[in-house]
Amino acid sequence: MTQPAQRVASLHWMMWPAVAFVAVMVIFPFGYAFWLSLLDYKIGQSDAFIGAGNYRALLVDPQFWNGLKLTFILYVGALVIQLVLGVALGVLLHQVETLKGLVRTVMVSPFMLPPVVVGMMSIVVLDPGMGVANYLLKSVGLPPSLFLASNDFVIFTVILIDTWQWAPFVALIVLGGLQSLPTRVYEAAAIDGAVGWRRFVYITLPMLGPTIVTAAVLRSVDLLRFFDVIYITTQGGPGYASSTLNIYAYRKGFEFSDIGYASALMITLSTIVFGAVLVFSQLRRKVAW
């Protein structure tokens, strides 16, 4: 064995600009936001340290619990629908050979659109009076809906919009997973007589486990901090009917200038997001094959 004449130099310094940038723009603001959450800080009104006061206030704020409930409905509803639909569509696309390029192009279009465009599109298509969605509902004999203007239905409309945009993303992840599965497992299963549903439930689905968990993590992060499409279409309304935690925090901070309380809400939400990521990363280890 010949040793290299010189020790290979360290390249560590090359990552310091990026690390410094993240420290200044992400880590410091995170700490700053935590500090703000300990203050009673309303612009031009008050500025005092109150410790956990904002967090205590949060526990008795009905809008906080409403926001938490809406965040949970949106998260669980959209995640389950998108995973089920994503797996179904991924399996479907895996079996289709024709016009692959065109199909892929159409599949990626929704989630590459700017959220503001999806929001504007939704406003026009789902308009209760003149929108084409209600026209189509009526023409097949279904009752029209208020969609985004409905207190009860607005959060489900948001789920519907987000599913239109992101189920194709899950489908493409699943498709990638299916294409990397070993074919010999299928051949062995076919000899054993496993076909159709049985093959799907006992062979395909377990092997897709890690892929599905990955898709779930990616969607979880986006769904828990969902902001754009809700704010663009309803600004959290009607009333507070679509004010998820993230929207409620934004409204508190920028509509009511209650900096301290808004920061407490945002720290709480961040904790939930990181908690979900941790849970899923544990799950990812369990289902790995």
Partner 1 sequence: MNRATSMSAPLGRWARGIQVVVLMVVLFAPILWMAMAGFKSRVDITRYPPTLFFTPTLDNYRELFVRTDFLENTLNSFIVAAGSTLLGLLLAVPAAFAISWHRLVWPATLTLFARMAPGTLFLLPWFIMFSKVGLSGTHAALIITHAVITLPIALWTLLPHFDGLPRELTESAQIDGCRSLDILLRIALPVVMPGLIVATILSFIFSWNYFLFALVLSGISSKTAIVASFNFIGEGVTNWGSLMAAATVIAAPPIVLTFLIQRRLVSGLSFGAVKG
Tell me which residues in 246-265 interact with partner 1 (CB under 8 A): 246, 249-250, 253-254, 259, 262-263
- Toward partner 1, which CB reaches closer, 77 or 111? 111
- Toward partner 1, which CB reaches closer, 107 or 287? 107
List 41's β-bridge partners, or say none.
47
Q: Which of 67, 77, 86, 168 binds partner 1 (CB under 8 A)?
A: 168
Strands (E), the chain: 39-42, 46-49
Examine residue 32 and tell whether it contacts partner 1 (CB under 8 A). Answer: yes
Find the part of the chain contacting partner 1 (CB under 8 A) among 61-69, 73-81, 150-158, 171-179. Answer: 171-179
Examine residue 154 and tell whether it contacts partner 1 (CB under 8 A). Answer: no
- State the minimum distance, in angstroms, from the CB of residue 250 to partner 1: 5
Interface with partner 1 (CB under 8 A), residue total 91
Q: Which of 61, 270, 283, 287 binds partner 1 (CB under 8 A)?
A: 270
The interface with partner 1 within residues 124-143 (CB under 8 A) comprises: 124-125, 130, 132, 135
Q: Report which DSSP code applies to 225.
A: T
Q: What is the CA radius of gyration of the chain?
A: 24
Measure CA of the first residue to CA of the last residue in the chain; give whole Å. Answer: 38
Distances (CA, A) of 80 to 37, 72, 85, 86: 33, 12, 8, 10
Residues 6 or more apart whose CB falls under 8 angstroms from that of 178 comprise 90, 91, 94, 204, 208
Distances (CA, A) of 24 to 13, 221, 231, 263, 270: 17, 23, 28, 18, 18
- Toward partner 1, which CB reaches closer, 73 or 221? 221
The interface with partner 1 within residues 45-84 (CB under 8 A) comprises: none
Contact 173, 214 (CB under 8 A): yes
What span, in angstroms and rounded, lies between the C-alpha atoms of 209 and 107? Answer: 22
- Give the residue from 161, 160, 70 showing the smallest Cα distance to 117: 161
Phi, psi of 181 (to 5 degrees): -75, 145
Q: Which of 52, 76, 84, 108 binds partner 1 (CB under 8 A)?
A: 108
The interface with partner 1 within residues 204-233 (CB under 8 A) comprises: 211, 214-215, 217-218, 221, 224-225, 227-228, 231-232
| Contact characters 4-23, partner 1, x per CB under 8 A | xxx-xxxxxxxx-xxx-xx-
Examine residue 273 and tell whether it contacts partner 1 (CB under 8 A). Answer: yes
Find the part of the chain contacting partner 1 (CB under 8 A) among 44-52, 55-63, 122-130, 145-153. Answer: 122-130
Distances (CA, A) of 125 to 49, 109, 117, 164: 48, 17, 12, 13
The interface with partner 1 within residues 176-205 (CB under 8 A) comprises: 176-177, 180, 195
- State the minimum distance, in angstroms, from the CB of residue 194 to partner 1: 13
Examine residue 158 and tell whether it contacts partner 1 (CB under 8 A). Answer: no
What span, in angstroms and rounded, lies between the C-alpha atoms of 16 and 27? Answer: 14
- Toward partner 1, which CB reaches closer, 82 or 246? 246
- State the minimum distance, in angstroms, from the CB of residue 232 to partner 1: 6
- Toward partner 1, which CB reaches closer, 155 or 246? 246
